[in-house]
Structure 1
């Protein structure tokens, strides 16, 4: 795919397709976040394109690169599905210079690019503060403002770290976030770094609870799917709980200006439950955007959320029917699966 078709973007109250490129603003109420890297489109017979293809769309604010899926001997294991297979000699660490060039091109167009730790499968426990501080050193040197001879994306400097913790022993992530914050401050200069999180909607999220209560986050995009509190239960009682997360932002979070984003599936195959149509998404947005810390929409993920032309003017969330051809589909190729693929995020 050479020309990105924008995905799942909400109604005119959130984004307008085709708007001019703008620099990422963490305090904006109209941010759009997309995950990239796991080739989830293969579930529908498609294939996720290169990162730079998706960055051509002016409505996406942030791309979260998925995932650092494991931590082995204190070092990260990066999994980007079919996008990169080369490793540094004598290591298991991916060496992806092409993706590094894509990252810089995306940043030049105003996007923020963060590296996501976690996923629905993987072994990424940080059981204590010492492990968290040591891993922060690794993340800083390999992906952010530090230096190393084995940087997966070369001289590309990412804009921050996302925590998509869904299992494991995660007490050490408080120290990881705090250590990274200290490095951000010590680095000085004009570059800003961000810490984000993707908790599941049951509150409190057990995997990210300690970090969310004790550390400073800039944006939190909550997964309102694959759970009783998902968008599919909006209007069917009190289980949809965006208000609960907004209350966390204003009463518990260290950063009282933290933005809460509505996390939704990008289309069929993106989740077990929570795949909704444009009209329902617009109804939900009409309510949640009134909350003080609302910050926009997150979707899983870039390859699975194609645009359908009838909604191109305003409402861009679309569950593709048989009349809406998947733009990534390549009938001549077989799906490439990732060991960390996760169309369903579950507790």
Structure 2
């Protein structure tokens, strides 16, 4: 009997792990200088995508990359290393600061030009990451007015046309949205239908009470045909109210979300907290 029970327990554990292993695991990097290098993040077998955060100032002729004191000179080679391991590397624009907005269509065009020539496949003279090319742009628009982000998305997506792009996808477009549906700051951009995936943050703004998490996420998944990922914090220190223990993530959310046809996986905020808590491993992501 004891052997039978052990075999049953093992089968349940394997099934549990398999259920959690579906989809991508996305992590945000660049929010704490003690999180380790980008290269070290990409050595974590659980992550499939790493998002460099943030390009925190734009829209008024000034651009600023804020990666929390990490040496920028090392990032380019680390990007290439990550990509050699089959991991995607994105650059997030926006963040929680207030140094960005797009006051006009002209500002949207200028942001596109800057992103293309500085971080993507353009030929800008001043490239912080050297000849390394990020795989795409994440729209993490938490502040400011809502206008013109749809224009940026359309301009970036133009590079994916077959007669322009020789790769499968030259610019991946993702968005990190607030839980409350819809996210007004991203609504027009997402309605273009050009985004590969959406990371829905079930944390951070007080608009996602536990009783509404499932229903809210399902609204996001129903509204957009692209892949939709659930965003969680890796530590109570990040957001104690929104925190879901890794051992509870499957029971509370993933067993339901896995049934959605466009469920895309899990987004973790962030690398620093995940390094401290080992959340992604404990949740079998």
Q: What is the match of residue 141 of structure 2?
A: 165
Q: Among 53, 70, 74, which residue is 1:66 paired with?
A: 53
> What is the CA–CA distance in structure 2 between the aligned matches of 1:49 and 1:115, rounded to whole Å?
17
Q: Among 170, 180, 187, which residue is 1:209 paired with?
A: 187
How many residue pairs align between the two structures? 267
Q: What is the match of residue 68 of structure 2?
A: 81
TM-score, reference length from structure 2: 0.86
- Structure 2 residue 164 is matched with structure 1 residue 187: yes
Give, in angstroms, the shift of residue 99 of structure 1.
0.7
Q: What is the match of residue 219 of structure 2?
A: 244
Alignment of 1:9-28 (within 5 A): 11-15=17-21
- Structure 2 residue 46 is matched with structure 1 residue 50: no
TM-score, reference length from structure 1: 0.71
Q: Among 120, 142, 160, which residue is 2:118 paired with?
A: 142
Q: What is the match of residue 174 of structure 1?
A: 150
- 2:20/2:283 contact within 8 Å kept: no
Structure 2: unaligned runs, 5 residues or longer:
1-15
Q: What is the match of residue 272 of structure 2?
A: 303
> What is the CA–CA distance in structure 2 between the aligned matches of 1:259 and 1:175, rounded to whole Å?
21
Which stretch shifts more, 161-170 or 268-277?
Answer: 268-277
Structure 1: unaligned runs, 5 residues or longer:
1-9, 16-28, 85-95, 250-255, 318-347
Q: What is the match of residue 292 of structure 1?
A: 261
SS in 2 for 1:82: coil
> What is the CA–CA distance in structure 1 between the aligned matches of 2:279 and 2:246, rounded to whole Å?
11
Q: What is the match of residue 4 of structure 1?
A: none
Change (3 A) 1:128 1:278: same
> What is the CA–CA distance in structure 2 between the aligned matches of 1:33 and 1:99, rounded to whole Å?
18
Alignment of 1:327-338 (within 5 A): none
SS in 2 for 1:153: coil
Q: What is the match of residue 199 of structure 1?
A: 177
Give, in angstroms, the shift of residue 207 of structure 1.
1.4
SS in 2 for 1:81: coil
Change (3 A) 1:187 1:14: farther
* Structure with higher helix content: 2
Encode CA deviations 1:238-257: one digit per residue, 9 max, x unaligned. 775111101111xxxxxx3x
SS in 2 for 1:303: helix
> What is the CA–CA distance in structure 2 between the aligned matches of 1:14 and 1:67, rounded to whole Å?
28
- Structure 2 residue 267 is matched with structure 1 residue 267: no
Change (3 A) 1:266 1:151: same
SS in 2 for 1:32: strand
